């Protein structure tokens, strides 16, 4: 049995109707259903002007329902009732078994953006203070929740990250479709911050304006409050699989970022296909709203041009990025902080298939394919890399780098390459790094380029007609 929220059509708002039904269900254990038609307004859209709170054992079913954040509202659409309270920081405050399930066409819509943006220290030198934490713009926000299921939903034009989980465990996010109009900064799909573990994120389709999936764990309070035991903030045991996606912000499809002593480990990423098509008008990277929009002296966002599909392309910076040289509060990631990452079956036309920075150990990459204007198979930035292997990396016959790929310099992250290389080392220190099965095409001029320290081993490298190595400081040997 279930409770139809239309039972509470005498309430003053759609948010109050849904909350009243959930409050009743908290007592009797029934599921709550939001149907397509709203009897209070006579419309087929539910306007959310106040965060709807979910309790332990809440099950919310959206049956062809379209929920939209109200104009001007600054709030999450859904969160657990203990979130952002002192209780949420305790074991006693853990909430369990929260489900949000869609049936048919179930949509969570960000509506018109409210003008509150993250102050990221790069493009946004001045941002208006709204008196709210930026994560209040996440559509769904969970803190200290176990046994979460979110499935069969479409997230449309999210105002910030669509879903955000911190200190949460045993979750499954499945059968999610993203739709983006492409001009909102920081419009991630699924983000996992401090203390998230034992999660499956699977069967994801569509487009967002930033990272499709991101694991972010640093000292910054955006990624969750700190604990006395830093190990409780580590992110681990995550499966990400079966993605047919693209992003329009010129960033990375999947991002793993850790600093300040936090660890990311035991992550499995598999079956990721970038579905955007190359166009003759492709820029080197798609326009990034995170870096292009501007504000007035008070931090109000000024009008800007919307990205037009196909006009400048949707090429991403990388399919997989692990580590960045920015964003740390006190100390960047050190050797041993990022390990046990397994990546397989990636098809991409991103500038970099895999980009590595700071550190990575005991990890594998296999079955990587570049197509369209995909450029570099693997980039190693400054840092220490040990026990990392690449197996079966291939380029399509007609895969062609963009003309602007020949010399790349990204100041904020220290990314730098020169020439058309399959694998490039930008000051990396390597130990027991291996390549087995590497097949660039004739549009790549050098197989291994750059400089650093250490030795790499390789076998089954197709260097026919290409310069095998222009490495400086790194020895190349047979595997």
Give the Cα separation of 454 and 369 in Å (integer): 27
**Looking at the predicted structure, is the pLDDT value of residue 73 above 80?**
yes
Dihedral pair phi/psi, residue 231, rounded to 5°: -65, -25
User: What pLDDT score was predicted for residue 184?
Assistant: 78
**Looking at the predicted structure, is the pLDDT value of residue 308 above 70?**
no
Give the Cα separation of 276 and 285 in Å (integer): 13
Least confident among 55-69, 122-136, 315-329, 358-372? 122-136
Please compute, for residue 282, the number of CA atoms within 13 A of its CA located in the half-sphere on the CB side: 25
Question: Which pTM value belongs to this model?
Answer: 0.96
246-286 tens-digit pLDDT: 988 889 999 999 999 999 999 999 999 999 888 777 878 87
**Looking at the predicted structure, is the pLDDT value of residue 291 above 80?**
no
With cut-offs at 50, 70 and 90, classify the pLDDT of residue 314.
confident
Share of the chain above pLDDT 90, in %: 80
Q: Which residues have a Cβ under 8 Å from the Cβ of 91 and sit 6 or more positions away?
A: none
State in Å, rounded, how far the first CA of the chain is from the last one: 63
Q: Is 92 helix (H, G, I), strand (E, B) or coil?
A: helix
With cut-offs at 50, 70 and 90, classify the pLDDT of residue 205.
very high
Instruction: Specify which residues 246 forms β-bridges with.
Output: 207
Q: Which residues have a Cβ under 8 Å from the Cβ of 133 and sit 6 or more positions away?
A: none
With cut-offs at 50, 70 and 90, classify the pLDDT of residue 39.
very high
Give the Cα separation of 210 and 194 in Å (integer): 20
With cut-offs at 50, 70 and 90, classify the pLDDT of residue 306.
low
CA geometry: angle 449, 452, 458, nearest 5 deg? 55
With cut-offs at 50, 70 and 90, classify the pLDDT of residue 182.
low
**Helix, strand, coil share of the chain (percent; to 5):** 10, 50, 40
User: What pLDDT score was predicted for residue 125?
Assistant: 59
114-145 tens-digit pLDDT: 988 887 766 565 677 889 999 999 999 999 99
Share of the chain above pLDDT 70, in %: 94
Give the Cα separation of 443 and 3 in Å (integer): 61
Q: Are 67 and 34 in contact (CB under 8 A)?
A: yes
Q: Are 17 and 37 in contact (CB under 8 A)?
A: no
**Looking at the predicted structure, is the pLDDT value of residue 165 above 80?**
yes
Give the Cα separation of 423 and 376 in Å (integer): 6
Nearest-CA neighbor of 160 among 244, 243, 216, 76? 76
Give the Cα separation of 76 and 413 in Å (integer): 31
Find the mean pLDDT for residues 438-465.
95
Mean pLDDT, the chain, as a whole number? 93
With cut-offs at 50, 70 and 90, classify the pLDDT of residue 479.
confident
């Amino acid at each position: 049995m279930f409770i139809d929220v239309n039972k509470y059509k005498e309430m003053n708002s759609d948010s109050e109707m849904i909350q009243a039904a959930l409050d009743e269900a908290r007592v009797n254990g029934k599921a709550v259903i939001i149907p397509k038609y709203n009897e209070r307004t006579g419309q087929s859209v539910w306007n959310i002007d106040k965060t709807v709170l979910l309790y332990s054992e809440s099950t919310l079913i959206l049956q062809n329902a379209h929920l939209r954040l109200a104009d001007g509202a600054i709030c999450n659409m859904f969160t657990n009732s203990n979130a952002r309270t002192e209780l949420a920081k305790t074991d006693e405050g853990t909430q369990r078994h929260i489900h949000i399930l869609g049936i048919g066409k179930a949509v969570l819509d960000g509506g018109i953006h409210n003008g509150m943006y993250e102050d990221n220290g790069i493009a946004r030198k001045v941002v208006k203070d709204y008196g709210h934490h930026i994560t209040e713009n996440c559509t769904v926000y969970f803190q200290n929740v176990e046994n979460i299921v979110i499935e069969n939903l479409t997230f449309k034009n999210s105002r910030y990250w669509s879903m955000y989980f911190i200190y949460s465990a045993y979750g499954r996010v499945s059968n999610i479709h993203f739709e983006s109009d492409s001009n909102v900064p920081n419009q991630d799909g699924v983000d996992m911050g401090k203390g998230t573990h034992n999660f499956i994120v699977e069967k994801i389709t569509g487009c967002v304006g930033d990272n499709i999936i991101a694991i972010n764990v640093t000292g910054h309070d955006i990624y969750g409050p700190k604990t006395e035991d830093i190990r409780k903030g580590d992110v681990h045991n995550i499966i990400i699989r079966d993605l047919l996606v693209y992003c329009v912000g010129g960033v990375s499809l999947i991002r793993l970022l850790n600093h300040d002593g936090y660890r990311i480990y035991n992550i499995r990423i598999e079956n990721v296909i970038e579905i955007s098509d190359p166009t003759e008008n492709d820029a080197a990277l798609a326009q990034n709203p995170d870096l292009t929009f501007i504000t007035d002296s008070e931090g109000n966002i000024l009008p800007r041009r919307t990205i037009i599909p196909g006009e400048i392309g949707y090429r991403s910076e990388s399919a997989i990025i692990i580590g960045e040289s920015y964003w740390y509060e006190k100390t960047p990631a050190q050797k041993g902080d990022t390990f046990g990452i397994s990546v397989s079956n990636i098809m991409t036309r991103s500038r970099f298939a895999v980009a590595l920075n700071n550190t990575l150990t005991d990890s594998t990459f296999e079955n990587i394919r570049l197509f369209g204007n995909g450029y570099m198979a693997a980039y190693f930035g400054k840092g220490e890399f040990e026990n990392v292997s690449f197996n079966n990396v291939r380029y399509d016959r007609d895969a062609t780098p963009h003309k602007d790929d020949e010399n790349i310099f990204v100041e904020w992250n220290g990314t730098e390459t020169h020439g058309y290389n399959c694998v490039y080392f930008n000051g990396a220190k390597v130990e027991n790094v291996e390549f087995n099965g590497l097949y660039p095409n004739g549009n790549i001029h050098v197989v291994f380029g750059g400089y650093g320290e250490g030795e790499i081993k390789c076998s089954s490298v197709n260097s026919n007609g290409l310069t095998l190595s222009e490495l400086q400081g790194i020895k190349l040997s047979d595997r």
